[in-house]
Homo-oligomer: A and B are copies of this chain.
Amino acid sequence: MRHFLPLLLLAAAAANAQPAPPASPSASQIIDNAPASAWRIVAADQLMLLEFAGGRKLAIELAPDYAPQHVSNIKLLLRDGWFERHAAISRVQENYVVQWGATTDAPLPDGLIRQPQGSYERPGLPATFRRLPYRDAYATIIGHSDDWPVAADANAHWLVHCPAMVGVGRDMAPDTGTGAELYVVIGHAPRHLDRNIALVGRVLSGMEHVSALPRGTGPLGTYEQDSQLVKLVSARLASTLPKAERPVFQVMRTDSPSFGQWVTARANRHDAFFIRPAGAADLCNLMPPARTVK
């Protein structure tokens, strides 16, 4: 169709024609060749499946270790059917967030924790912490733990606002976000929100469905017309589906040798396209690889 091959297409073609020597595989080859032991299956009771109008499906891994009260609330809202009755995307702000929640007065179910604790940081460093050797503008220590990108200081560690991370909308007081209003980061990581809002998970698939939504023209990207709202038509925990119907996702284990090789390959790209490998990478360009296997 076109005379000028798009940027990087030839790079991909050349990588196929002249595979890198086995001693130095590319990042995508490392993913393809990683052994089964390098992958963790996302637990069905931590896998939230959303479908917005227009067939826009998101699969989200929840982070109960980091935000136990918020995740508990989210699971209650899922069981109750509250999201399906009340929620829609009502805000899409360029280079920032897509947000969904109730668009009408919608009483919250009994049992919901009305003022959950902040859940902004956890003490110390987790046993599974894998430190990155690269600099970060916002924290002195960065790395990964289990499936998550993490920043830390001498006293605590916390999840960070990379693209695809899911957080809890709140009002001015830190304890006002119940989990009934959620957002996902699109665009360059708004890391100034770290430790100011609770993060509760990460989109594993479907980002392209929400990041391509029209930006809202109201304050902070809100949709000004009801007709613009994108209704949440289905919201389920995978564990509530019959086993045969459950999608299965894997995330590369951040404590696996494959992950270490992948990080190094991403920081030192050596295919024929690159003149000068960076020698480093930003934490948010190192989101643990995820894939669906069913």
Interface residues, chain A, CB within 8 Å of chain B?
Answer: 1-12, 14, 90-92, 94-95, 97, 99, 101-106, 118, 120, 134-138, 162-163, 169-172, 174, 180-181, 183, 186-192, 194-197, 207-208, 211-215, 219-220, 222, 226, 266-267, 269, 272-278, 280-285
Give the chain B neighbours of A99 by CB distance below 8 A.
Answer: 6-7
Closest B residue by C-beta to A97: B7
CB distance from A282 to the nearest CB of B (A): 4
B residues in contact with A215, CB < 8 Å = 208, 211-212
15 contacts between A and B (CB under 8 A): A1-B90, A4-B101, A6-B91, A6-B99, A7-B183, A10-B171, A12-B220, A92-B212, A137-B280, A137-B281, A163-B188, A172-B272, A192-B278, A195-B276, A212-B213
Copies per complex of this chain: 2
Complex Cα distance, B16 from A219, in Å, reads 13
Distance, CA A137 to CA B267, complexed state (A): 10
Closest beta carbon of chain B to A291's beta carbon, Å = 15
Bound together, the chains give a CA A152 to CA B292 distance in angstroms of: 40
Inter-chain CA distance A170–B134, complex, in Å, is: 29
- By a CB distance below 8 angstroms, the chain B residues around A171 are 5, 10
Q: Which one of B134, B219, B274 lies within 8 Å of A137 (CB-CB)?
A: B134
A2, A9, A211, A222 pick with most chain B CB within 10 angstroms: A2
Residues of B within 8 A of A137 (CB): 134-137, 280-283
